[in-house]
Amino acid sequence: MKVPSCNYCDHPAAWMRPWDKTPLCIMHFNKGFLKRVQKTINKYNMLKRNDVIAIGLSGGKDSVVMMDVMAKLQKDFPTELIAISIDEGIENYRADGLKYAKMAAERAEVDHQIFSFKETFGYDLDEALIVLGENRMAPCSYCGPFRRNLLNQAAREVGATKLVTGHNADDEAQTMMMNMMRGNLLKTLHGNPEPTFKDEAFVNRVKPFRRTTEQEIVLYANLNDLPYQEMSCPHATEAYRGKIRDILTDMMQEDPAVIFSIINSADSLFSLADKVPDTINYDGDDQLFECEICGEPTNNTRCNTCKLKNEIDQAAMSKP
Ligand code: SF4
């Protein structure tokens, strides 16, 4: 079969952009990829000149590609980059991810720091699950809040003014669908992608891949020889998200741009956010308080991490 030429030069196409059927060679794919990330950053005012940017680097495809892209964009947009990785303590998984994270940071010539659950909270995730026993919630219900808490602490500790995560357009569209199907539209309404928190204890998170698809990220990694961890976390059991992913994959066969339509719908809601109290995320108030135990920012008197840690401590004390 004859390979079509790139839409912008005579080189053979490496990819056909699914939503407008544009054939692109490697060079023009890479150029377009970087351009769209930059446009996303600008569209949502995600970064400012001279920001100190912590990049959450797990070693998976999204974060490894983000590391590479941010290092390239930094050449025209002066910022300082620091890679931070979280070691949850998950056997046969995290050490492998940290290996790829280290390679990605070295390749980008960026300082890399690792923060562990064990050192911060006193437990590895695996240990905590054993202590909690059979009546516990799903592993992600503990790991997720601990991870978010530690990412914030780590970002603050390295002096970051922004925390960049690798969530991509597929993740964003899935989350929006899940919010809607669970009756949590307010979460989407108040999930503005612009960095809006003024409290210095909370490092604003931004997602420059909000308009970049998973397919593009995998292709970018492969075309640019960026090795990443392919193995999934052994505890990943978010069945509901998997179902939504399958629905979206199916819909994309007919309409490859459906993901962007969902994100555009969410974007059009943000202008209404001021008119509708946020009763889900912040009790109708975007003010954050200090947790009475650890001092981390929370919308309550005690943060979720301290509540969960207390549950683990209680379980540990009740062990013979
Ligand atoms: Fe943690 Fe769940 Fe993610 Fe595994 S899948 S790293 S347990 S949040």
Q: 5-44 b/e with 16+ CB inside 10 Å = b?
A: ebbeeeeebbbebeeeebbbbbebbbebbbebbbebbeeb
CB 178 within 8 A of CB 72: no
What is the 72 CA–ligand 1 centroid distance (Å)? Answer: 29
Q: Which of 92, 140, 147, 241 to mutate to test the pocket of ligand 1 (most atoms within 8 A of CB)?
A: 140
Nearest residue (CA) to ligand 1, atom 5: 236
The one-character DSSP state at 276 is S
Output the six-digit token pair for 43.
Answer: 């569209």
Largest CA-CA distance found in the chain, in angstroms, rounded: 73
Residues 6+ apart with CB under 8 A from 247: 177
CB 308 within 8 A of CB 145: yes
Grouping H, G, I as helix, E, B as strand and the rest as coil, residue 282 is: coil
pLDDT, one tens digit for every residue, the chain (320 residues): 788 999 999 999 999 999 999 999 999 999 999 999 999 999 999 999 999 999 999 999 999 999 999 999 998 888 899 999 999 999 999 999 999 999 999 999 999 999 999 999 999 999 999 999 988 999 999 999 999 999 999 999 999 999 999 999 999 999 999 999 998 888 888 788 998 877 788 999 999 999 999 999 999 999 999 999 999 999 887 678 889 999 999 999 999 999 999 999 999 988 787 777 665 554 334 567 889 999 888 878 899 999 999 999 999 998 77
Handedness of CA 129, 133, 139, 142 (dihedral sign): negative
pLDDT at 277: 64
Residues 6+ apart with CB under 8 A from 147: 86, 88
What is the 88 CA–ligand 1 centroid distance (Å)? Answer: 8
What is the 139 CA–ligand 1 centroid distance (Å)? Answer: 7
Where do the H-state alpha helices sit in the chain? 26-43, 61-73, 94-108, 117-121, 125-132, 139-157, 169-181, 185-189, 214-223, 239-254, 258-269, 304-317
pLDDT tens digit sequence for 186-224: 888 878 899 887 778 899 999 999 999 999 999 999 999
Query: Among the atoms of ligand 1, which is closest to the Cα of residue 144?
Result: 8
Q: Which of 94, 233, 304 to mutate to test the pocket of ligand 1 (most atoms within 8 A of CB)?
A: 233
Rounded CA-CA distance 165/58 in Å is 10
What is the 310 CA–ligand 1 centroid distance (Å)? Answer: 20
pLDDT at 287: 64
The one-character DSSP state at 93 is T
Phi and psi angles of residue 298, each rounded to the nearest 5 degrees, phi first:
-155, 165
What is the 123 CA–ligand 1 centroid distance (Å)? Answer: 15
Rounded CA-CA distance 313/299 in Å is 23
Rounded CA-CA distance 192/199 in Å is 16
Task: Kindly report the number of other CB atoms within 10 A of residue 75's CB atom.
Answer: 7
Instruction: Determine how β-strand 22-24 pairs with β-strand 52-56.
Output: unpaired
Hey, what long-range contacts does 20-25 have (CB within 8 A, 24 or more apart)?
Answer: none
Nearest residue (CA) to ligand 1, atom 1: 143
Query: Among the atoms of ligand 1, which is closest to the Cα of residue 237?
Result: 5
CB 133 within 8 A of CB 277: no
Which residues are 163's β-sheet partners? Answer: 54, 205
This prediction's pTM: 0.94
Pocket residues: Cβ below 6 A from ligand 1? 88, 139-140, 143-144, 233, 235-236
What is the 282 CA–ligand 1 centroid distance (Å)? Answer: 24
Instruction: Determine how β-strand 22-24 pairs with β-strand 15-17.
Output: antiparallel
Handedness of CA 242, 245, 251, 254 (dihedral sign): negative
What is the 63 CA–ligand 1 centroid distance (Å)? Answer: 15
Nearest residue (CA) to ligand 1, atom 2: 140
What is the 200 CA–ligand 1 centroid distance (Å)? Answer: 27
Nearest residue (CA) to ligand 1, atom 7: 140
